[in-house]
Structure 1
């Protein structure tokens, strides 16, 4: 994984670069709301969610319930994508309806909305900044060789072979979502944490009650494992192509807004189906530049942004989905190199 420092990057231009781009986007009408689109999408996701749980009850105690678990894993991912758009005020202009609908969506999948919104806001402000972006804070994985050299315990152990373990570990992301949400409730600075706690634990109680009420214990555990692992894998596959393997900023290396967002993000090529499966996050550069832009406008904004970046001489990366995963895994392998070298040195000693 490449780490860029301020000395290796041309001096950032002023904020006028983004202002000129923003004017083009606004004049093209791409910041306008799309209430019809979000109404249809919200209804479709809600019907698919309710239909999944209805199928769960109707199928009952049979192994076909695992197919329902796989289906619900995808629908949970779609609910998460809708919550993401709501949090960015792509759906509603005002804060209250955005927070209310965001909490409803979060409660539907067992996610603490306040915790996630705080974390995601910090990510958008400083994407891929080693000290400021919570998405690349060393936890189980290390994202740079600097983090690897400082790693101890489990990250130090996993980091050696993290590229090979990455996708298996993504299966735990659904569980991590709940654990991190619950852990954040202890943070007194978190707003509405009592409400978030009630929704989070209410979802967990209802979810487990439904599983063990409808299914025998063994089958309920199997459903839980399939559903949560596939949900976590889907979530991870949604977000991994966006920034992993892109330049990591360190220290005072903070280019102007346009370059900070473009240089640390990667777009993924694809059709309307890619847009549906990834919730528009395949247009990550446009999303980071204009977080409140409605999802269906991101594809329309792409040629404008790409052409503008070419005029400025700013690198604009777009690749295929498989290639994006390959780049992310290669960067993880490079990041873990110091841990592998340390192991070899210890073995020789």
Structure 2
């Protein structure tokens, strides 16, 4: 097949823009050939359970799905009755980037809270954690946090433990959106379970696509309080893959060894390099600390559009001149240096 795109073009718009890591492609090829039982009763999905338990503990159970939205909706559905509601940051992906799927498909109410840095706290949760027993109010029965957050910030393990304890004391369960969980683990210098299972998280969405996979995510159940009905909900929500071995094989390739960590470490390092390169420029400032693989910068008027001619990226808050630059597993030092040079030229120095 003819290549239809310019393979030399690079950008900083999203870690979804990158291709598939060669080791993941090799894993797909290795899983191909012959026949394997469909719908998850295959050798690769069985092996994935072992891999996931190695990271998250012996009670962990993985449900591979196609995408992150599906993982989040399924995870939250399994925590809630029909009258349930989820407390989340206003900037959470489930609130601003999933087309209303949690509410329209999942049938749940989102109760969102303004945060200064994308992170919930027990005090912020309490703004919406009320009204239990009031038949006129959707019942707050789950909290959802994101690690790393949509603003590139991180929760510490102690912060997540405080949220988990606070939620559990009030009869709520804790979901963690881990689309960039690997980036967070690398930045924190901790194993995955340190700020998930060991911190009291009940269920999480495990990301693979942003870290080198082709389209592979999973819902991972961590506690016996979570995951009710997932075996049925996955099919109901059109997230049950018939050829599941090809999703599982990708997640095995990432998480069985150190590839997940290597890819995330590289992406984080490239984001740090980019921030360091543009930080001295006049008129450039930063909205949030760069703690994972995203840089949120504020640029002088007109700079973003001039740079975007060569390197595509998104406005985050156009009115404030705020943009988001994302690095990924295949971002190179040359990419970063060329981009920083383009910003420098556009700024005028």
- Higher-RCO chain (CA-CA 8 Å, sequence separation at least 6): 1
Which structure features the higher share of strand residues?
A: 2
More helix by share: 1
- Name the TM tier (shorter chain): under 0.3
TM-score for the superposition, normalised by structure 1: 0.25
What's the TM-score, normalizing by structure 2?
A: 0.25
